[in-house]
Structures are given as C-alpha cells and as structure tokens.
Amino acid sequence: MDILNGLLYGFSIATQPGHLALVFAGCLLGTLVGVLPGLGPVAAISILLPLTFHLPPAGAIIMLAGIYYGVMYGGSTTSILVNVPGETASVVTCLDGYQMARQGRAGAALGIAAFGSFIAGTVGIVGLQLIAGPLSSVALKFGPPEYFAIILMGFTFVTYLAPGSSLKAGIMAVLGLILSGVGLDPITSEQRMTFGVLNLFEGIGVAPLAMGLFGVAEVLNRLEQASFGRVLQVKIRSLFPDRKDWLSARWAILRGTLIGFFLGILPGGGPVLSTFISYGVEKRIAKEPERFGRGAIEGVAAPEAANNAAASTSFIPLFTLGIPPNVVLAVLFGAFLVHGIQPGPLLIRDHPDIFWGVVGSMYIGNVMLLVLNLPLIPLWVQVLRIPDRILYPLILLLCVVGAYSINNSVFDIGVMVVFGVVGFLLKRGSYEAAPLILAFVLGPMLEVNLRRSLLISGGDFSIFFTRPIALGAMIVCLFLLALSFLRAKKGN
Amino acid sequence: MSGRIRFLLTVAVVAAIAMGFPVTGPARAAWPERPVTLLVGFAPGGTMDLSARALARATEKVLGKPVVVENKTGGTGTVALAALLAQKADGYTLCATPSSVLIRVSQMQRVPFKPLASFRPILGFTTPQLGIVVKQDAPWKSLAELVAYAKKHPGGVKYATTGVGSTTHAAVEELAAREKVRMIHIPYKGSIEALTALLGGHVDFASVTSEFIPSVKGGQARLLVTMGEKRSPKFPRVPTMKEAGYDFTNDAVYAVVAPAGLPPEIAKKIEEAFARAVRDREFLEALDRIDLVPVYYNSKAFNEFLQAQWKIINRHLTSAGLIRQAATPPE
C-alpha cells in the first residue's frame, strides 16, 4: 500500500463514528491529565488500559494514543498559569510561560503553546507516515557507547542550560544520579544504599519523587508567601498571538519541532528530554539570553513544539521495530500485546488498520485538540482558579492519593513528603529540581550503557572516543563544560 | 464567579479525580475487593511479560476484578521479587516470575530474599522456548560454525542475554565451558533489548526467549538452535541444543508467587482462580502465538519442583566450576 492510499485508508478508519468518539475521548482525557499536576500519562494510560479491553484493537490504540499526545497539549496550561508543571514534559514551560502570564500575556503564551504544538505534532505525524522505516534503522545503529555518550550529553546540556548557576544545576544532576543508584544493582542484584530497607530494594519511585519535588514543595513554598492569595489571576484577552509574537516564535517553533522530531525517535529520548534541550538551544542562540526566565515567548514555543513532535515521532520505533522508546510507549506497547498485536517489523504489513488508523486518528486528534482546547482553556482556567485554601490541600491530596495508588504503598507517601521538604529547602537555596529529576530518570540508562560499553571494550574507555556518533556527543560535552568554566570565570 | 459556583466546581473536580483512582481498603477475606497487581520482573513485550499479561486477562474473567500487570525490571528479575516482599501479604500483589530467577539467579548472585522460603508458590503455568539467534547477514549457518569461529577468536565474540544467571546465560556458559571458549557477555534486561542489540550489530549473537520469532520470520535474524526437549513445532528444521551435542535443555517454568505470609484462605481463592484461568481459550491461544508450551503445576507441585531444581542446578553449577556454593542461602 503506498503512502497516499494508506493515508486515505487510515482516514476511512479514523472517521468511523466510533473511532471519532474515541479520538475525542482520548484527547479530552489527555488534556485533563495534562492539566492536573501530579497525574501523568503513564499513570493515566495504566489506569485506563482495563477500560479498553472490550474495544477492538484499533479503537483501543487510537484512544490511548490520544491520551498521550493530548497530555502534551494540556500540560502547558498549568505550567503557564500556576507555575506547576501539569506533567514532566511541561517542566521547562514554567520558566517563561509563568513569567509571561505574570506580565499579563497568558493568552499569548497559551496560544503559542497550542499553535506550536499543533504545527509540531502535525509535522511529527507526516514524519511518522513517510519515514517510519528508513529512519528507525539509523536509531538501531546506536549501541551502548552511543547511548552512554548521548545521555551524558543530555546531562551536560541540562546543567549548562539550567537557569541560574551551572554549578548548582550540576550538583542537582549528581544528586539525581546518586538517588537513581538506590536499590538493587541492575546487573548483579547487589544491594546499594538500601540500608536493608525492603522498600528501597526496587529503588525510589520516580512518581513520588517528582510529586514531592514539584507538587509538595510548591505547596510549601506558597504557604511561606506572606499574602495567601490565589493562583495567578490573569485576564486572557486573546488566545491568538499577535504578529510580533509570531515573528519572534516562528523559528523557535521550527527548531523545537526538529529537535523533538529526532529525539522522539531516539530510544531514551522522548518528549521530556526534547523540551530541556530545545529550551537550552533557544537560550543559547538568543541575542539577549537574559530575557529567558523572564517571559521570553521562544522559551514557551520551542519546548511545547518539541514535546509534541517527539510524542508523534516516538511511535516510529514502536511501529517499525517493536521497541518502545520511552516509558509511556512501553505502557502502550503493553496495550498492543493485550490486544494480541505484536509491534515489530511486520506490524504495518499484517495490521495496516492499526498503523494507518492511528496515523489518520493523530491528524484528526491534533485538529481536535487545537479547535477544542483554545475555547476550552477558560474552563481549564476555572479548574485551576480554585482558591488557594482549597487548591493547595487539593494538590496535596492528589499527590498523596497518586503516590499511594501507584503501588498501594504508604512508604511512597513518605518518600514524597521527604522530597517535598527537600524540594522546598532546595528552592530556598535556588537549586532547581528539574536537573535532579532528569538525572534520576536517565541515571539507570547511563549506568547500564556505561557498563555494557566497558564490557564490550574490555574496560577500555577509548570506546567512547573511537566511534563517530559517541565521539561527536563527547566533543559536545567537553565543549559545553569548557564554555561553562569560561562563563564562571567571566562572572567572577 | 460566585462562591457557590466555585464550591460546586471544586466538588466536581474532587469527585472527578477521586473516580480516577482505584478504591482501596484493608484486606479482608472477601478477596478480591479491588484490582490485583501482578508484578513482572522483565521488560514489556518479552515472553514473561506477554504470558503474564495473557494470564492476567484470563484471571480477570474469573475474578471479575482487574488484574494489572506492572513491569519492575532489573537484577535479572530479582527487583520484582524484592518489590513483592515490600508489599503486604494480602493477595493484592503477586509476582509472575521464571523459576530460574529463584533457582539459577539466586545461586549465582546474592539476592535480597530467601529463594525457597520468602515466597508462597501459586502455580507454574508455562515454559518458554529459548534459542540462539544471529543476524541474517552473519556468516554462521549453524551453531558448530559459530563455535568454531569463537574458538579461533578468543574474546572476540560478544553475546547478549536476558541477564546474569538467567537460563539464556546458563545455556551459553554451558557451551563455553564444554568448548573452552572465551566470549564476552553483555547482559540486557529482556529479550527485546537483547535482540535490538543483535539487530543493531552490537553483539554477534543473542541467547533469548521466543521474542525472536518476528525477527526470524521477518528475515532479519537466523535461528541456530532451540533449547527445548524436542524441536519447536514452529521451526521444525532448527536443531535443539541436545541434538547439537550439548547437555542443555531449558528447565525454567513461568510461575506466579505470593509473599510467604499469605493467609491460607486467600491463598486458596487465588489458587482456584488461576487454576481456572489457565484453561481459558484466549490464554492458550496467546501462549501459542509466542511459542510457549502450557504446563500446570499447582502450589504444592511447584514447590516440590523448586526444591528439586535447587539441588539439581546447584550440583550442576558447582561441578561446572561456575560457583563454589550458592550465593544466597535457600531458606
């Protein structure tokens, strides 16, 4: 089936009334999940998976995919209006989005996020449809040394590009790395930093950690503020960014799209990493980097574009190789299998209805999200405009229930509370929690790929400098490190 | 916005959120009152994961309550078992595991539980198909050719398995010990990861479970040998490890275990539910798709199997010189 016929076939599947309703349901749920802090796509898809058991496979996958990319739209709303990331892929959107909202430009921020998401998401689907096969064979060429070098590059980017002191960001990344080492050794099962506590054998959960550092810490932070006011009161005049906004954001959207596009395909990349990197790139190449963190529209447009492009293209390795490139798609992968479909090289041939149906539904879903969400933003705003005395206990309640429900574990609530206090103290010392979380998530991947690389090379570190892709990533790392030393010297 | 509307909105939001979470309460004899979590120690998409998911679906039909599969990978499946022990022994958290994690892995590595005492077996339900695969463009057409090459290039052949001490690793160790070849072991967290490394050209061969089927049928990989007692009906031309001259057959059984302190009346209910689930037609079809052979051990039979296996494997590992004594005490 050629691409045009495939696409028409896909639309014919996606526009069946039942499937249209499922696209709509997926997008709406995804947006709500994105808006609500503390509840991310992984938890949401896991909770909703049992509901799809009675649907035909194409419908089930169409709806669950809708949740995934819907989240990418919804997350920005909370970031911009409350300065709490609705979910992890919107962490960096807080930095400039919230500042824009404080300057009375919430409408422009929300609008550019939505339009940027739409453009990037659509470009991502075109890519998914056209180059699924050829591009994933490139990703397959990445072995342990390449993974290690690229993750290390991610670490370096995150510390170099973090707002404020690079040293502090580096400390946070190292702390995240150390925390990710808690639990059983991933290869030999030796205990590490568990102090014999059974609950720590499987390591610290990323959800309680993130909810603590972002949710609880934020609530504590607000309590400290003298005025017990409401969540940012904004008047949203127009959701359509004006000409000037477009002029300053258009290239940012394009760059964000490209970065998200490629990081989405890369196993271990995905939406979250792409937002950090695209934000960093924008800040790097800006004429006045000091605007970032103070309401630069590029700082909203680029990461929001990046996470949507990445959400679309992350389906490429799943559909063509059967490899879920990130944790959300790993859950979605489970959904395929529950429905008796083996994602892999034969998926497009054996199940064209799934592949083309999902592609078609993603085009429709992106239009739905744009058309529905812009008018619905006032509704989400109302959800978020609940007074502090109700909203903050509510966020706490959500975090507690969320942390508990993942493993039915009271211990996880304890982890969340501890890191809530830690996060609060870190914030007072102007240490950012974002590099910590990223390092925490990437830490285990960094470790196993380092160890596998050294097994391959027989303990020889030159393996990271003799393979072109790894070498390239290493050079970028060293370059960034050198730059940040120079910058620190200049600062003194 | 008036106070009342705001209040109503708040109530609506709280209600909407509350509905999203499973209602949980203290464990009572009326098991199951809420969803049951089935932990899996290997990555999604692997045979352990796929068969556990199929079993979970079949068990749901029996129970009328969701059985949610949760992957906790790492430490060759030991992380999930440790995670199980961190949960209450109330029957709401169970773990699907290959018997080899309790037997082989626990003897090769010091694990944070007592393999024969910390768990209560529920049932053994299937046995996986294992095989050695190479890339389609690799020069080796048979296991003998691969071994001959490895002998000529000591330390030059890299292979991927599903983890240190796993059955897939043990098969290669057996071969290496017999032929006295030195090869480099790169452990992965599951067969899909190991196969990806193979297809990407990062290792020379992979010893994995039947996740190789799509790659072999899709013409990207070549299956050199399988490890069952008999040839796989899906690949009748491929010899077994025994036929190739090595004394190795896969002895792992996929099982479900609970923490040892499970109250007997709940254990009985769980065992009955799973015993009915393994007869489900869709479950059996799902196993067949991934070349798994259904078997059935009840709690008692599986416990006896584990006790016996521990001794057999221990003798095997010590006589092969792989270990001096079991790294973990069994009880």
Instruction: Round to the nearest angstrom and report the end-to-end CA distance of chain B.
Output: 66
Q: State whether B274 and B222 are in the same domain.
A: no
* Structure-token pair, residue A439: 């390092």
* d(CA B42, nearest CA chain A) in Å: 12
Please report whether residue B49 resides in a domain.
yes
B147: CATH: 3.40.190.10
- Rounded-to-integer distance, Cα A343 and Cα A309, Å: 21
Q: Are A117 and A308 in contact (CB under 8 A)?
A: yes
Q: Where is pLDDT greater, at B20 or A402?
A: A402
Q: State whether B268 and B284 are in the same domain.
A: yes
Q: Are B207 and B132 in contact (CB under 8 A)?
A: yes
Read off the amino acid at residue B233. P
- Rounded-to-integer distance, Cα B123 and Cα B139, Å: 43
How much is the pLDDT for B276?
95
How much is the pLDDT for B247?
87
- Using CA coordinates, name the residue in chain A closest to B285: A340
Q: Are A71 and A41 in contact (CB under 8 A)?
A: yes
**Matching residue, tokens 């051990």:** B297
How much is the pLDDT for A308?
92
Contact A382 B158 (CB under 8 A): no
* Structure-token pair, residue A335: 């959904």
How much is the pLDDT for B317?
85
Please report whether residue B206 resides in a domain.
yes
How much is the pLDDT for A179?
95
Contact B86 A184 (CB under 8 A): no
- Using CA coordinates, name the residue in chain A closest to B74: A186
Torsion of CA A247, A249, A252, A256, to 10 degrees: -140
Would you kindly state where each structural domain of chain A is located, as residue ranges? 3-491
How much is the pLDDT for A51?
66
Nearest CB among A47, A142, A186 relative to B20 is that of A47
Contact A386 B10 (CB under 8 A): yes
Contact A401 B87 (CB under 8 A): no
Q: Where is pLDDT greater, at B137 or A248?
A: B137
Which of A188, A189, A457, A463 is the mutation pick for testing B, counting most B CBs within 10 A? A189
How much is the pLDDT for A88?
72
Q: Which domain holds residue B84?
A: 33-128+252-319
Q: How much is the average pLDDT of B42-57?
A: 85
DSSP for A68-83, please give it: HHHHHHHHHHHHHHHS
Query: Nearest Cα to A96, choosing from A249, A274, A246, A215?
Result: A249
Among candidate residues B226, B260, B279, the one where a domain is terminated: B226
- Rounded-to-integer distance, Cα A287 and Cα A279, Å: 14
- Using CA coordinates, name the residue in chain A closest to B65: A50
Q: State whether B124 and B136 are in the same domain.
A: no
- Counted residue by residue, chain B has a size of 331
- Using CA coordinates, name the residue in chain B closest to A452: B186
The answer to ipTM > 0.90 is: no
User: Could you tell me the strand order of the sheet in which B205-209 lies?
Assistant: B184-187, B158-161, B205-209, B130-135, B221-226
Q: What part of A 272-301 touches B (C-beta under 8 Å)?
A: none
Please report whether residue B300 resides in a domain.
yes
**Model pLDDT for residues A385-418, shown as the tens digit of each residue:** 666 677 678 778 877 876 776 666 788 889 989 9
Query: Nearest Cα to B239, choosing from B224, B252, B219, B249?
Result: B224
Mean pLDDT of chain A: 81
Contacts of A338 in chain B (CB under 8 A): 53, 57
Nearest CB among A191, A323, A401 relative to B196 is that of A323
DSSP for A81-117, please give it: HHSS-SSGGGTTHHHHHHHHHHTT-HHHHHHHHHHHH
Please report whether residue B203 resides in a domain.
yes
Q: Are B52 and B97 in contact (CB under 8 A)?
A: no
Q: State whether B108 and B135 are in the same domain.
A: no
Please report whether residue B170 resides in a domain.
yes
How much is the pLDDT for B132?
97
Please report whether residue B242 resides in a domain.
no
Please report whether residue B12 resides in a domain.
no
Q: Are B145 and B163 in contact (CB under 8 A)?
A: no
3-state secondary structure of B123: strand
C-alpha pair distances (Å), A6 with each of A64, A344, A349, A358, B72? 21, 18, 11, 11, 37
- Rounded-to-integer distance, Cα A458 and Cα A470, Å: 17
How much is the pLDDT for B19?
47
Q: Does B200 touch chain A (CB under 8 A)?
A: yes
Helix-helix angle A57-82:A93-102, to 10 degrees: 50
Q: Does B154 touch chain A (CB under 8 A)?
A: no
**Model pLDDT for residues B163-196, shown as the tens digit of each residue:** 888 899 999 998 998 899 999 999 987 787 788 8
Q: What part of B 214-243 touches A (C-beta under 8 Å)?
A: 214-215, 217-218, 220
Measure the CA angle with vertex A268, ends A460 and A165; round to 5°: 80
Would you write out chain A's pLDDT as a tens digit for each of its 492 residues? Answer: 577 888 889 899 888 999 999 999 999 988 887 887 656 676 667 666 666 766 788 898 999 999 988 888 888 888 888 777 777 788 888 888 888 888 888 888 888 999 999 999 999 999 888 877 565 556 667 788 988 887 788 778 777 766 678 888 889 989 999 999 998 888 877 889 988 887 888 788 777 887 788 778 878 887 876 443 345 666 666 777 888 888 888 899 999 999 999 888 765 567 877 888 888 888 888 888 888 888 889 999 999 999 999 999 988 878 876 666 666 776 677 677 666 676 766 677 667 888 889 999 999 999 999 887 778 877 877 766 666 677 678 778 877 876 776 666 788 889 989 999 999 999 889 887 777 877 887 788 789 889 999 998 989 999 999 999 899 989 988 998 888 888 777 765
Q: State whether B42 and B119 are in the same domain.
A: yes
Contacts of A185 in chain B (CB under 8 A): 75
Q: State whether B59 and B98 are in the same domain.
A: yes
Q: How much is the average pLDDT of B192-210?
A: 89
Q: Does the pLDDT at position B24 exceed 60?
A: no
Contact B201 A143 (CB under 8 A): yes
Among candidate residues B180, B211, B226, the one where a domain is terminated: B226
* Structure-token pair, residue A216: 């609880």
Contacts of A184 in chain B (CB under 8 A): 74-75, 78-79, 82, 112
Contacts of A337 in chain B (CB under 8 A): 44-45, 49-50, 53
- Using CA coordinates, name the residue in chain B closest to A189: B75
Q: Does A430 touch chain B (CB under 8 A)?
A: no
**Model pLDDT for residues B63-113, shown as the tens digit of each residue:** 998 888 887 877 788 889 998 998 889 999 999 999 999 998 899 888 889
pLDDT band for position B23 (50/70/90)? very low
How much is the pLDDT for B59?
95
Contact B45 A405 (CB under 8 A): no
**Matching residue, tokens 């995670």:** B83
Domain count, chain B: 2
- Rounded-to-integer distance, Cα B304 and Cα B53, Å: 26
How much is the pLDDT for A424?
92
- Rounded-to-integer distance, Cα B331 and Cα B312, Å: 16
- Gyration radius of chain A's alpha carbons: 22
Q: Are A65 and A79 in contact (CB under 8 A)?
A: no
Nearest CB among A39, A185, A331 relative to B75 is that of A185
Cα atoms found within 13 Å of the Cα of residue A64, Cβ hemisphere only:
32
Q: Are A29 and A44 in contact (CB under 8 A)?
A: yes
B302: CATH: 3.40.190.150
**β-strand partners of A324:** none
Q: Are A20 and A62 in contact (CB under 8 A)?
A: no
